[in-house]
Amino acid sequence: MTNSLAISPQERAYLAQEDLESFWYSRLQKKDPVARIGYAIWVKDVDDLKHAITTGDPVYWNQRGFAYWELMARSTVVNLAVGLQKGGFRGTVGETRQQIKRVGLRVADWHAQYVHNDYQDQIGQVPGLLSLKQMADYHHRAFQEFNIPPSYYGGTWFGSIPETIQFETYGHLYCHDCDSSEGYQGVRP
Amino acid sequence: MKKILFIFTGSLIALLAYAFSGNSTDKAPQVFCPPKDFVVNLNIPPEAYTDKNFDVSDDEELALLMFPPEYVAESIENYQPYLESTRTGRLRAPLHVNVRKSSHFNWHINPDHARALPHGPDLYTDTDEEEFGWRVSSFDGEQFHPWGRCSDDFNGSLSCFRDLKVGKLWLKYVVQAENIAYYPEIDAFLTEHVTAWRCDSKQ
């Protein structure tokens, strides 16, 4: 770790601006392990993700390539969509995307607060570096805020692998540079 | 594939339950026996343990509890179970409580630089306003007592991690700005529950 893992004023500004891609990219530069999936989910240009992985430290990327992290990101988005529905959320694809963004914001908010406390209190071996348990802990907090069942965290990196039918139903929610729902007929459970 | 993952996850939950039971190799007696309905099992995926990029976990935590917001609001008058935010919409406000054998308190605020927090009764900080997080103490009229940490919630307000000692246990819970004023009632609510859930109180 060459950079301090503390939350920087710039990272706070990114969160205040709801700019998740820049927030997680900044964390990626510090080798924050949670940033790998965070950036994979919120990056707008998929080539940027490919570039980050192919030019990055293989140990940091856990010896996994682009296909793996892209699948994890896609699975997470599908999982969140299903989890939101299980928790009572109903909406069009645009509304579902917006709600997933809100969950993403809360996850990032909690991440920043946990990193800050970890850094200030010198928890663990590396200040500012979270453990798997701390990461699971704050995801539960964020999920509970949206009534997403706790079981939707776990199974793979960030959620049980969705069923094929769920991929078919919700897979289009994960797409880069797409913020239009033009022509979409609505999510049908 | 899902069945295999389910088995893996189930095994992990069993392992975590064993770990939280206090029934480790040192034969330490189990001290905390919360009802399972209030216990959160963290579903950390088994394959995550192959990733060595994360920090190590300490073994000071006995359990993670979750009190649904509606349950808390039934007991604490004025507790707001739902919070409205222009940034993230309507959020539920359950009480998540980390039950630990120790705390990370290692500081005291400087009384000469103490300023009152606007959200809570008798709460003070000495941290610069521009900082992301502030260490907070309560004031009993004579001296300051470490209370917890608060930080910017990115929505023009703040959220706080409260550290509360109950007997030999340390509780850490999060309270948002809307409910900070009721922290004495939340403290009492948690103290009552956790005390009742001591293993020896059930014998």
What is the separation, in whole angstroms, between the first and last Cα of chain A? 45
Is pLDDT larger for residue B86 or for residue A166? Answer: B86
Q: Say what the pLDDT of residue A146 is.
A: 95
Residue bearing tokens 């001591």: B198
Torsion angle of the four alpha carbons A92, A38, B69, B135, in this order, in degrees rounded to the nearest 10: -140
Asked whether residue B1 is assigned to any structural domain, the reply reads no
If pLDDT is split at 50, 70 and 90, which confidence band does B14 have? very low
Q: A154 contacts in B (CB within 8 Å)?
A: 9, 12, 42-45
Residue B72: both structure tokens together: 């808390």
Q: Say what the pLDDT of residue B154 is.
A: 82
Q: Report yes or no: B94 at the A interface, CB cutoff 8 Å.
A: yes
- According to DSSP, the residues that pair with B162 across neighbouring strands are B148, B173
Host domain of residue B161: 48-202
Q: What angle do CA A116, A122, A123 make, to 5 degrees?
A: 90
| C-alpha distance from B157 to closest chain A C-alpha (Å) | 11
**How confident is the model over B48-74, as pLDDT tens digits?**
788 899 999 888 889 999 999 999 999
Q: Say what the pLDDT of residue A121 is.
A: 86
Span A32-44, mean pLDDT? 95
Calculate the CA B33 to chain-centre distance. Answer: 17
Domain ranges across chain A: 9-173
Contacts of B99 (CB under 8 A, 6+ apart): B32, B34, B61, B62, B63, B64, B65, B169, B170, B171, B194
Q: What angle do CA A123, A125, A126 make, to 5 degrees?
A: 85
d(CA B29, CA A12): 44
Q: Say what the pLDDT of residue B16 is.
A: 41
Asked whether residue B133 is assigned to any structural domain, the reply reads yes
Is pLDDT larger for residue A77 or for residue A158? Answer: A77
Which residue on chain A is closest to B160 by alpha carbon?
A113
d(CA A145, CA A174): 22
Tally the domains of chain B. 1
Asked whether residue B181 is assigned to any structural domain, the reply reads yes
Span B24-29, mean pLDDT? 50
Asked whether residue B38 is assigned to any structural domain, the reply reads no
Span A98-103, mean pLDDT? 95
Asked whether residue B19 is assigned to any structural domain, the reply reads no
Q: Say what the pLDDT of residue A142 is.
A: 93
Torsion angle of the four alpha carbons A165, A168, A171, A175, in this order, in degrees rounded to the nearest 10: 170
Residue A67 scores a pLDDT above 90? yes
Average pLDDT of chain B is 84
Q: Say what the pLDDT of residue A154 is.
A: 54
d(CA A169, CA A29): 34
Span B78-102, mean pLDDT? 93
**How confident is the model over A154-169, as pLDDT tens digits?**
534 444 556 666 666 7
Is pLDDT larger for residue A189 or for residue B191? Answer: B191
Contact B151 A151 (CB under 8 A): no
**Minimum mean pLDDT among B125-134, B171-180, B189-198: which range?**
B125-134
φ and ψ at residue A5, rounded to 5 degrees: -90, 5
If pLDDT is split at 50, 70 and 90, which confidence band does A188 have? very low
Q: B154 contacts in A (CB within 8 Å)?
A: 12, 15-16, 105, 109, 112
If pLDDT is split at 50, 70 and 90, which confidence band does B21 have? very low
Span A24-47, mean pLDDT? 95
Q: Say what the pLDDT of residue B130 is.
A: 84
| C-alpha distance from B29 to closest chain A C-alpha (Å) | 23
**How confident is the model over A108-121, as pLDDT tens digits?**
999 999 999 999 88
Q: Report yes or no: B2 at the A interface, CB cutoff 8 Å.
A: yes
Q: Say what the pLDDT of residue B11 is.
A: 43
Helices (H), chain A: 9-16, 20-29, 35-42, 46-54, 66-86, 93-121, 132-145, 164-170
Residue B95 scores a pLDDT above 80? yes
If pLDDT is split at 50, 70 and 90, which confidence band does B106 have? confident
CA distances for B111 relative to B119, B145, B160, angstroms: 19, 11, 20
Percent of chain A with pLDDT over 70: 81
Q: Say what the pLDDT of residue A57 is.
A: 96
Asked whether residue B166 is assigned to any structural domain, the reply reads yes
Contact A7 B132 (CB under 8 A): yes
Residue B190 scores a pLDDT above 50? yes
Average pLDDT of chain A is 85
User: Is A123 buried (19+), middle (13-18) or exposed (0-12) by CB count in 10 A?
Assistant: buried
User: Highest mean pLDDT: which of A150-164, A167-181, B11-25, B142-156?
Assistant: B142-156
Torsion angle of the four alpha carbons A132, A137, A141, A142, in this order, in degrees rounded to the nearest 10: 0
